[in-house]
Amino acid sequence: MAFFDDQIIERVQQATDIVAVVQDFVQLKRAGRNFKACCPFHKEKTPSFVVSPDRQTYHCFGCSVGGDVVDFLMRIDGLNFVEAIRQLAGQANIELPEATPEQAKGASRREKLFGIYELAQRFFRAHFSDVNSGKQAREYMAGRQFSPEILEEFGVGFAPASKHLLYDGLRKKGISEEDILASGVATRSQYGNIIDQFRGRVMFPISNAQGKIIGFGGRVMNDDLPKYINSPESDVFKKRQELYALHIAKRHIDRDDPYFIIVEGYLDVMRLHAAGIRNAVATLGTALTEDHARLIKRYVKEIVLVFDGDKAGENAALRGLEVFLTEDVSVKVVAMPSGFDPDDFVRDNGGDAFRELIKTSEDIFSFKLKLLMKRHNHREARGLLTITTEMVSMLAMIPNAVLVDRYVKQLSVVLGVDEQSIQLELAKVHDKLSGRFKAQEPEEDAPTTSLIKNPFQAEYAIISLIAEDETLALQAREVLSGSDFLSNEVAEVYDRIQARYGEGRSVSVRVLLHDPRIVADREIGQTLKSYLSSNIYAHLSLAEKSKALAHCIQQLRLKQRQCRADEIRRKIKEAEFQGDHGKVAELVREFQELTRLQHS
Ligand SMILES: [Zn+2]
């Protein structure tokens, strides 16, 4: 995150107009000083998404997302902070310095690889279109009933059978042998000479979420083996972190029903997209991973996993799915009818039949329960134990308490086991898990931790007030320091703003929204950004704002005392438990003092 310093970020911001950037994604209409549109982040009929050119922020009064242009790009395009800054800097022709030579080397290496894949893609596409060279490949794909439009959208190409045509072409363009080998489009053969990696294959470019090509898959057109060859992993291609066609699917998410369908192959994805099922993506020959879960979470909160209807398929489908539950992405699964993959199925039965199939998907919990009940007899003690143990360990992964409760009820009904006993088992697993967590990372006092997770509203309000006006910042500084805040994250932002004013620099919502520390903690960052971009105090006079600030500070003090009181209560209990009467008396005095203050 410490990739760019404040000054660079400010330069990029100053050179960027949020209106122009947002306009690429949504149709804006002028409304007074601002612009309005229907929100791209939630479904709505009347526009509540507002872009302010003065403040260079956006805010949706429907779903209360908001922030500056960098946030907007991060949210709509699934970029991370550094990627968003890079993109804006590129558009504004600002050169970004690299923090260290190491990073510079890494970045330019990545750029080189992207360049090679771009050239290789042009080569494969040219051969696919070539009257003679690409004839067989075109006929093969047409025979599989793929239209020229879908082939073009997915950039399907052809690698001719010659040994080193691509390699020679790249060398002629001045690319070094080392870089070509690093890209994996050519490889050193066992005899020591360099040959193209893909020969005589139909080519499927693999892009990352931003649409940059990062590798290829190549398929034979006969029964030769291996049927598929993929690019080796490189600095820009990690199979466990990428999903095929995500860059296309992410632009077709249905805001009424946002989810991704996950299948296994290039052709499956292309077939589904061709049938208008545009939210399909594929894994690249690996099981689903934690990285996938995080990637997917940027766009949707639900996936439907489609797998082969045999036992191996079932097992593969279940592997690694817990991590999605931990990330709070809900998982549904559906088996293909035996002998079909999505490609054949849709070709034979049409897209609507597949849509119907998707409707029959089951959530992973019910699916796993059924599977276990098929494999173990729940009327026997041993079978029942196996089933409950497995199901409870799955439940323990789900952070959403409401969901867990529902599943516990379901489990209790299906297995004929008392709900409370299931809760008890679940508590045991939770204890074990949290015990492991504590051993790794000693936690501070519990009350503080829970507050850090859920900072107090007044704290946000204080930040948005002092970010508006230096007079207010001075007013706050006289009575409030960072250590008064209950949330460490918000406290840091507070200190940072005060320090900035202290150095005689200006503060603005724009600058603040870029504070890397705000970006660092997602949940807190989002709330704070929502406060800042909503501009809730805009209509107040300075005197009124000053009153509002005083009120917020008072609220914060009150909350502080409450927290302190809770802490003392807890310590009293501890001291009582340990029989330390002196300590108890001391704490009680402190408690009384505190309550006296509170009521004065
Ligand atoms: Zn919205």
Is pLDDT at 441 greater than 70 in this prediction? Answer: no
Is pLDDT at 447 greater than 70 in this prediction? Answer: no
Is pLDDT at 451 greater than 60 in this prediction? Answer: no
Q: What's the per-residue H, E or C state across 484-548?
A: HCCCHHHHHHHHHHHHHHHCCCCCCHHHHHCCHHHHHCHHHHHHHHHHHHHCCCCCCCHHHHHHH
- Give residue 551's pLDDT: 85
Is pLDDT at 215 greater than 50 in this prediction? Answer: yes
Identify the weakest region by mean pLDDT among 129-138, 424-433, 449-458.
449-458
**Strand (E) positions, 250-312?**
260-263, 280-282, 302-307
| CA 36 – ligand 1 centroid, Å | 12
> Model-level pTM?
0.64
| CA 440 – ligand 1 centroid, Å | 39
CA angle 14/19/22 to nearest 5° reads 115
| CA 68 – ligand 1 centroid, Å | 15
| CA 54 – ligand 1 centroid, Å | 20
Between 332 and 428, whose confidence is greater? 332
| CA 363 – ligand 1 centroid, Å | 27
> pLDDT by residue (tens digit) across 13-22?
778 889 988 9
| CA 61 – ligand 1 centroid, Å | 7
| CA 280 – ligand 1 centroid, Å | 24
Is pLDDT at 452 greater than 90 in this prediction? Answer: no
Give CA–CA dist 213/206, Å, rounded: 6
| CA 52 – ligand 1 centroid, Å | 15
Q: Which residues contact 597 (CB under 8 A, 6 or more apart)?
A: 561
Peptide bond into 226 cis (omega under 30): yes
Give CA–CA dist 84/61, Å, rounded: 24
Percent of the chain with pLDDT over 90: 34
Between 517 and 143, whose confidence is greater? 143
Alpha-carbon distances of 194 from 217, 233, 441, rounded to whole Å: 19, 18, 50
DSSP state of 396: T
| CA 279 – ligand 1 centroid, Å | 21
| CA 255 – ligand 1 centroid, Å | 11
| CA 48 – ligand 1 centroid, Å | 7
| CA 26 – ligand 1 centroid, Å | 12
Cβ proximity of 466 and 532 under 8 Å: no
| CA 444 – ligand 1 centroid, Å | 37
| CA 60 – ligand 1 centroid, Å | 5
| CA 44 – ligand 1 centroid, Å | 8
| CA 496 – ligand 1 centroid, Å | 30
* The pairing of beta strand 302-307 with beta strand 362-363: unpaired
| CA 37 – ligand 1 centroid, Å | 10
- Give residue 210's pLDDT: 79
Report the pLDDT averaged over residues 529-550. Answer: 79
Give CA–CA dist 327/395, Å, rounded: 13
Question: If you average pLDDT over every residue of the chain, what do you get?
Answer: 84
- Give residue 572's pLDDT: 84
- If you search the block for the tokens 């990330």, which residue do you land on? 327
| CA 523 – ligand 1 centroid, Å | 17
Between 51 and 402, whose confidence is greater? 51
| CA 32 – ligand 1 centroid, Å | 20
Q: Which domains does the chain have, with CATH numbers?
A: 6-91 (3.90.580.10), 102-237 (3.90.980.10), 246-360 (3.40.1360.10), 370-440 (no CATH), 449-599 (1.10.860.10)
| CA 300 – ligand 1 centroid, Å | 15
| CA 22 – ligand 1 centroid, Å | 14
Is pLDDT at 104 greater than 70 in this prediction? Answer: no
| CA 45 – ligand 1 centroid, Å | 11
> pLDDT by residue (tens digit) across 171-200?
999 999 999 999 999 999 888 899 999 999
| CA 41 – ligand 1 centroid, Å | 5
Helix 488-502 with 470-479: angle, nearest 10 deg: 120
| CA 157 – ligand 1 centroid, Å | 40
| CA 65 – ligand 1 centroid, Å | 6
> pLDDT by residue (tens digit) across 348-367?
999 999 999 999 999 989 98
| CA 50 – ligand 1 centroid, Å | 10
Predicted confidence band of residue 56 (pLDDT cuts 50, 70, 90): confident
Closest CA to 37 of 72, 13, 12: 72
Give CA–CA dist 157/218, Å, rounded: 9
Report the pLDDT averaged over residues 581-596. Answer: 83
- Give residue 119's pLDDT: 95
| CA 305 – ligand 1 centroid, Å | 28
| CA 77 – ligand 1 centroid, Å | 15
| CA 554 – ligand 1 centroid, Å | 32
| CA 28 – ligand 1 centroid, Å | 14
| CA 208 – ligand 1 centroid, Å | 26
Return the bridge partners of 35, or none. 30, 51
Q: What token pair was written down for 401?
A: 């308490």
| CA 76 – ligand 1 centroid, Å | 12
Predicted confidence band of residue 456 (pLDDT cuts 50, 70, 90): low
> pLDDT by residue (tens digit) across 362-402?
998 998 899 899 989 988 888 898 899 889 988 888 877 78
| CA 59 – ligand 1 centroid, Å | 8
The three-state secondary structure class of 186 is: strand
> pLDDT by residue (tens digit) across 490-499?
888 888 888 8
- Give residue 317's pLDDT: 66
| CA 81 – ligand 1 centroid, Å | 21
Task: Produce one character per residue of 325-341: b if its CB has 16 or more CB atoms within 10 Å, e if not.
Answer: bebebbbbbbbbeeebb
Give CA–CA dist 166/153, Å, rounded: 23
| CA 259 – ligand 1 centroid, Å | 18
Order across the sheet with 260-263: list the strands: 280-282, 260-263, 302-307, 330-335, 362-363
| CA 529 – ligand 1 centroid, Å | 14
Cβ atoms within 10 A of the Cβ of 238, count? Answer: 16
